[in-house]
Amino acid sequence: MPGVPAMGRLRIFEDWAVACDNRLSCSAVSLLPEGVSEVYGALVWIAREGGPDGESTIEFTGAYDLRGKIDLFVDNEAAGQLTATRDMARASGSNALKLIRRLGSSYSFEVREGKTSLATPSLNGLALALRYIDEQQGRIGSEAALAAIGDKPASQARPLPEFASIMIAAGTALAAAPAALTEAEEQAARALAICGGRPRADIPLEIHALDASRILALLACDAGADNASSIVMVGTGEPGARSFQIARFDLMPGFTGAPGTPPMIVNAQWNPTKATLSSFARGRPLGDCGTTEIYRWDGTMFRLMQARAMPVCRGAWEWPVLWSATPVEGEAAPAPAQAANAQPASKR
Q: pLDDT digits over 276-292, tens only?
A: 999 999 988 888 999 99
**Same domain? 311 vs 169:** yes
**Same domain? 144 vs 278:** no
Instruction: Provide the CATH number for the domain around residue 16.
Output: 2.60.40.1880
**Same domain? 257 vs 140:** no
Write down which residue in 156, 173, 196 finishes a domain.
156
| Domain annotation covers residue 2 | no
Q: 81, exposed or middle or buried, with CB in 10 Å at 0-12, 13-18, 19+?
A: exposed
Domain count, the chain: 2
| Domain annotation covers residue 215 | yes
Q: Which domain holds residue 151?
A: 10-156
Q: Which residues lie closer than 8 Å to 2 by C-beta, 6 or more apart?
A: 166, 250, 301, 303
Q: Which residues lie closer than 8 Å to 126 by C-beta, 6 or more apart?
A: 13, 15, 16, 28, 103, 104
| Domain annotation covers residue 136 | yes
**Same domain? 209 vs 325:** yes
Q: Which residues lie closer than 8 Å to 169 by C-beta, 6 or more apart?
A: 211, 298, 299, 300, 329, 330, 331, 332, 333
How much is the average pLDDT of 151-180? 84
Among candidate residues 24, 94, 23, the one with its CA nearest the CA of residue 58:
94
Residue scoring higher pLDDT (106 or 274)? 106
Q: What is the 3-state secondary structure (H, E, C) of 76-144?
A: CEEEEEEEEECCEEEEEHHHHHHHHHHHHCCCCEEEEECCEEEECCCCCCHHHHHHHHHHHHCCCCECC
| Domain annotation covers residue 257 | yes
Band (246; pLDDT cuts 50, 70, 90): very high
Write down which residue in 156, 184, 218 finishes a domain.
156
| Domain annotation covers residue 331 | yes
Query: Is the pLDDT reported for residue 137 higher than 90?
Result: yes
| Domain annotation covers residue 246 | yes
Mean predicted lDDT score pLDDT of the chain: 87
What local confidence, expressed as pLDDT, does residue 336 receive? Answer: 44
How much is the average pLDDT of 45-68? 91
**Same domain? 208 vs 240:** yes
Band (345; pLDDT cuts 50, 70, 90): low
Q: Are 310 and 289 in contact (CB under 8 A)?
A: yes
> What CA–CA distances, in Å, run from 255 to 35, 60, 64, 267, 280?
26, 30, 30, 11, 9
What's the rounded Cα separation, in Å, for the pair 287 and 283? 7
Among candidate residues 37, 38, 87, 39, the one with its CA nearest the CA of residue 64:
87
How much is the average pLDDT of 145-165? 94
What local confidence, expressed as pLDDT, does residue 322 receive? Answer: 96
**Same domain? 224 vs 198:** yes
What local confidence, expressed as pLDDT, does residue 171 receive? Answer: 65
**Crossing angle of helices 126-137 and 93-104, rounded to 10°:** 130
Query: Is the pLDDT reported for residue 187 higher than 70?
Result: yes
